[in-house]
Amino acid sequence: MKKYGWFILLFAVVQVRAQKFDSLALTPPMGWNSWNTFSVNIDEKLIKGIADSFVKDGLKDAGYQYLVIDDGWMAKERDAKGNLVADPVKFPNGMKSVVDYVHSKGLKFGIYNCAGNKTCGGYPGSRGHEYQDALLYASWGVDYLKYDWCNTEKLNAEGAYMTMRDALYAAGRPVVFSLCEWGENQPWKWGEKVGHLWRTTGDITNCWDCEDNHGTWSSWGVLRTVNMRKDIRQYAGPGHWNDPDMMEVGNGMTVQEDRSHFTLWCMLAAPLIMGNDLRSMTNQTREILTNKEIIAVNQDALGVQAMRYATVDSVEVWVKPLVNNEWAVCFLNLKSKTQSMDFNWQEHTITDVVANRTLDFKKETFQLRNLWTKKTSGTTAKPLQASVASHDVLVFRLSRK
């Protein structure tokens, strides 16, 4: 036995390290990321201003906690010891100072890098420096890492993300690990043991239903992002989430489209990562992003992603089971004009095989709570008759009478 003792010990150490941090992201992470609005044009003043807005505008109170800086934070070259360096012009006081400021607001700090040699913006990637970078992030107090997939040449996606997972764990500071691999290697099939969330599609853009073709790749509107991946809801749950990308709420769509976008992300149990300029958002945008009743659907402890149950006269019906045998039901108008709808609850029996739950309106009657008007009115005993504006939603929380 002694002959093999060292091997057994080494094997045990490797097994302990080969895991992500448990007990993180048990509900979808909520926060903000710099990319959608600012690209690589970020600096210390901006990040501190965003942190201030988290608190001042009620976003922290609504549940948002991660402030994540995306690509462009680092200098173009590593230092003589191979360490990443914060851009001295953008961050003259260094990254630790910024992290400390964010923490002083009661928030958590997230940072960005990439599995390749270079990031998508051409800055130093982590390939070959995974453990070195993880130790640096831990020394700064980083709480969240978004890890991209540019310039990866012939890397194996699962293996590359496992390497950084192990590096983060070895560094010893609990970090939410966000896999930004764009869904190209079906991360929902292997991501649960590697990270806490994984991108399911390419980048989102601020339109309702469009493709923004960049030549070698495209950005996708909200509806196309939702429709791009189907039949993967069974892979999501507490600690491991399908991620359809950051939100574009407040970035130029109509109020109705913003409301629908936010609702869909909440129904889909998606990470709620804001992508707008918090310092200048309108009251309408703030009201959407801080609607605690809609957020409660997203943060529901059951952790089941909604399913698209039916489409009736261009109105999609989405259904999400919640704790305490409650449900959320969303009616989404796909048309470019107002649509009248008549939904007879009694004609529907909805079975969710993922949650192993059945919603039988003939056997049970539910009260209806409209989550945008925040009014309780009516029950499922009578048909729902309503008008839904173009690209808008009606959302109800169903609870037993």
Q: What are the tens digits of pLDDT across the range 246-282?
A: 999 999 999 999 999 999 999 999 999 999 999 999 9
The tens digit of pLDDT for each residue in 198-210 reads 999 999 999 999 9
Backbone angles phi, psi at 318, to 5 degrees: -110, 140
- Residue 18: pLDDT band (50, 70, 90) is low
Q: Is the pLDDT of residue 46 over 80?
A: yes
Rounded CA separation 391/339 (Å): 10
Residue 203 annotated to the active site? yes
Per DSSP, 365 falls in state -
Computed on alpha carbons and rounded to an integer, the radius of gyration of the chain in Å comes to 22
The pLDDT score that the predictor gives to residue 15 is: 47
Looking at the structure, give the CATH architecture of the domain made up of residues 18-298.
Alpha-Beta Barrel (3.20)
Q: Which CATH class is domain 307-400?
A: mainly beta
Burial class (CB in 10 A: 0-12, 13-18, 19+), 311: exposed
Residue 313 annotated to the active site? no
The pLDDT score that the predictor gives to residue 325 is: 95
Rounded CA separation 310/354 (Å): 17
Mean pLDDT, rounded, of the chain:
95
Q: Is the pLDDT of residue 3 over 90?
A: no
Q: Is the pLDDT of residue 17 over 70?
A: no
- Residue 82: pLDDT band (50, 70, 90) is very high
The tens digit of pLDDT for each residue in 326-381 reads 999 999 999 999 999 999 999 999 999 999 999 999 999 999 999 999 999 899 99
Q: Comparing C-alpha atoms, which of 43, 116, 76, 28 is closest to residue 298?
A: 28
Per DSSP, 74 falls in state B
The pLDDT score that the predictor gives to residue 4 is: 40
Complete edge-to-edge strand list for the sheet that includes strand 366-370:
307-312, 315-321, 327-333, 393-400, 366-370, 375-379
Rounded CA separation 320/342 (Å): 20
The pLDDT score that the predictor gives to residue 401 is: 75
For CATH 3.20.20.70, the residue range(s) in the chain are 18-298
The tens digit of pLDDT for each residue in 272-310 reads 999 999 999 999 999 999 999 999 999 999 999 999 999
The average pLDDT across 238-247 equals 98
Among candidate residues 133, 166, 203, 392, the one labeled active-site is: 203
Share of the chain above pLDDT 70, in %: 96
For CATH 2.60.40.1180, the residue range(s) in the chain are 307-400
Among candidate residues 70, 143, 148, 300, the one labeled active-site is: 148
